[in-house]
Each structure stands twice: as C-alpha cells, then as structure tokens.
Amino acid sequence: MNPSALHREVEEILRRELLRAYSKEEILNLLAPKNREKELEQLLAELEVASSLSKENPEISATCRGGTVYYNWNRIP
C-alpha cells in the first residue's frame, strides 16, 4: 500500500519524539491548518484498527488509555 501524503505527515509527527505517544486530538490539532479533518479522522481510525489486528509489530501503534487513543512510532531506526 502506498501511503498517502497525509499518512506520511502523521508518520513525521510520530517520528519527532520516538518515546512520546501523541493523542488523536494532538495530531488533529497539529494538522488542523491543513483543513482535512475528515480525511485525517478516517486515517487515524484505520491506523488504530491496523494496530489492533496486526500480528506483527506495526510501524504505528495505537493504544487506548483512559478513553483517549494514543499513537506512537513503533520502529527504531
């Protein structure tokens, strides 16, 4: 699957601080000026599902803590 430009932007955010997890709201706020909220919401939902269904270690992992979904980069360069 060829990642979309938006997918690459999310990856760039997650790679900034490899030990940090970003909440869905943080990612939406960081990309808000792009005015593509619906597309971003769909992408984050797909990443969350892919993370939960993956038998391997996915590049982006999604975890839920206290009702908030957090995303982080899961690969060490």
pLDDT tens-digit map of 30-68: 988 766 788 888 989 999 998 888 777 778 888 899 999
Regarding pTM above 0.75, the answer is no
Are 12 and 30 contacting, i.e. CB atoms less than 8 angstroms apart? no
- Residue 16 to residues 21, 22, 33, 36, 50: CA-CA distances in angstroms? 10, 10, 19, 21, 22
For residue 64, count other CB atoms closer than 10 A to its CB: 11
Long-range CB contacts for residues 45-53, cutoff 8 Å, separation at least 24:
47/10, 47/71
Tell which CATH classification among 3.20.20.140, 3.40.50.261, 1.10.10.10, 3.40.630.10 matches the domain 5-73.
1.10.10.10
Contact between 76 and 18 (Cβ < 8 Å)? yes
